Chain A
Amino acid sequence: MAVRSDARDAAGKYWLLVLMLAAWELSGRLGLVDQAFVPSLSAALSAVFDMWERTHLFMHVMVSLARVTAGLLAAAAVGVPLAYLLGRTLPGLAERIEALLRVFALINPYCVFPLFVVFFGAGELPKIAVLAWVSLWPVLFGTLAGVRGVDPALIRTARSMAAGSSAVFWKVVLPAASPSVFNGMRTGVGMSFFILIAAEMTGATAGLGWIVHSAGALNQVPRIYGAGLCIVLLGVLLNRSLLFFGNGLFFWWKSGTDPLAGVRTEGAARRLGLRSALAAAALFAVAMGVGAYEIWRAEALLNDPGEMPEYRVWAE
């Protein structure tokens, strides 16, 4: 019974998407569009399989994922404590420097990227730094909004019951602010995914952006679309898994709909406990580890010209 209603639910949700994908496939098959420019869906998918088997697609995906994760972690490590400090300890200062922070947030990351290259040299560091820069602002403003939005009555109540400042932090401020922090992180992930592809296109030797770039240079059009599909899938998956954990961890989340994801957040999902949160953290750590290994492997492959013909084409 439940399975059936789930299926109907999914059909109601995705029929338009499926229709569009079918239209894409058919327009190529029927010759409505030039296959040289717009290969059909099946051609793009077979390019994905081909890349998986022959040109280390998994490695590129993991490299991109590790970069985004590292950038987000760095942004959270800086942004959350800073915003907490500004919002709770120095609210007057926060009000006065907010304009400055808004100006910083407006600085285009593509303008910052060359500067980071100057500061950090080539390699992974400037890319991760620019991703951290991009995610920093949503995380910072999200945390600031969350910390400011804590109902003062709750804090006073806790205080009047002789809760110490650490208890107030752990029991009141953190739970009240964390959904907003989490939303900031989700925005940050979305934006850094946007930037990542461009950053990988301009100066990288691995990653999904690099695939797009090299496929474009070599005029392998199905590969461009295949890599594009991978980027979409990875983006949606990342967003969904964050939403899943968010719904589970912050079960007191205000109901509402998530823009663009088309996901109803009302009627919170299954509540996740500490153990699940730890499992998620472990999963992230494993992904990071694999990603770091794959970055190292990409470097090694670069120095082994027999391995990847695409690399040699680029180097020459």
Chain B
Amino acid sequence: MKLFRAKETAVSLFYRGGSVVIFVILWQLACSAGLAPETFVASPATILRTLWQYALDGSLYRHSSVSLARAFYGFVLAVAVAVPVGFMLGGWFKNFERAVGPLLAFLGQFNPFALFSVFLLLFGIGEVSKVAMIFWVAVWPILYNASLGVRTVDPLHVKLARSMGMGRVRLLWKIVVPSSASFLFAGLRLSAATAFFMLIPAEMMGASRGLGWLIMNAQVNYQIPKLYTGTLVIVVFGILIDALFRFLERKVVVWKGAGQM
């Protein structure tokens, strides 16, 4: 039985991942056969070799750790600000979708690049301006989803808890947070993806380390294999971050059942 299931997962994994493998093989074949111009397209073997080289001389670790740290700090700050504020907005404004929606739409549209020069002026050229930029893009999805989550708490549950004499803190902890958790997690996942996504241009514009800088440097020096390698590393991190948040959601929101979305 167990063996059967293992076989089944292997087959489904092949169905899902097989296309990627086949694509990489075709790509390698095209490069080896000389169908793709080597000056524009790096072959998978070259990319792996460059990656290995980066891993050996420590630059892979250095750039990745710097980038991940920036994304992490921006994201954590965004969570620390957006979750309480989102809960408050959702709890206080009864006509939330009408009043808060336009405000969030306006602020969220404020392009972080338009603010980049301002952040430079305010926070200097160091780490803070990059973290601020990531914070800015990461804060909106969490804010919106947290407040939406609070809005969708079943009022019956709240009334029931109140009538049984539940205090405010316990009410928040036992009713509001669990009810809105799936919304909250959707916001967190979106926001983490956006944070990592925005990190790359932020590092391209004014940094001396990090994955974005790696890409920028490869472009300026016309090192095509490095460009592809950096892109690959960023894609892998993107997949990992998404998987991490899906995993966390499955582990934490165990009560998400048929009744809830």
Contacts and interface: CB of A to CB of B under 8 A. Distances in A.
Contact of A114 (B99, B111, B215): B215
Contacts of B93: 16
Contact of A224 (B117, B216, B218): B117
Interface in A186-201: 193-194, 197-198, 201
B199 to A, nearest CB: 9
Given A107-B235, A115-B227, A198-B113, A260 B108 contact: yes
A153 B16 CA distance: 28
A80 interface: no
A106 B238 CA distance: 7
B219 A114 contact: yes
A99 interface: yes
A228 B111 contact: yes
B99 A13 contact: yes
A107 B218 CA distance: 17
B114 A100 contact: no
Given A107-B235, A114-B215, A260-B104, A12 B118 contact: no
Contact of B99 (A15, A119, A225): A15
Interface string A7-31: 0000011111100100000000000
For chain B, which range describes its interface: under 10, 10 to 19, 20 to 34, or 35 or more residues?
35 or more
B30 to A, nearest CB: 15
A58 interface: no
Task: Pick the most buried of A12, A260, A264: most chain B CB atoms within 10 A of its CB.
Answer: A260
A231 B114 contact: yes
Interface secondary structure of B, over-half rule: helix
Interface string B200-231: 11001100000010011011001010010011
A257 B105 CA distance: 13
A305 B224 CA distance: 36
A260 B197 CA distance: 20
Interface secondary structure of A, over-half rule: helix
B98 interface: yes
B253 interface: no
Interface residues of A, number: 55
B247 interface: no
Contact of A100 (B19, B103, B197, B239): B19
Interface of B: 15-20, 23, 40, 93, 95, 97-111, 113-118, 120-122, 140, 144, 148, 197, 200-201, 204-205, 212, 215-216, 218-219, 222, 224, 227, 230-231, 234-235, 238-239
Report the 5 A-B pairs with minimum CB-CB distance, sorted nearest first. A262-B101, A216-B117, A114-B219, A228-B114, A111-B231
Interface of A: 12-17, 20, 36-38, 95-100, 103, 106-108, 110-112, 114-115, 117-119, 193-194, 197-198, 201-202, 209, 212-213, 215-216, 221, 224-225, 227-228, 231-232, 235-236, 257, 259-264
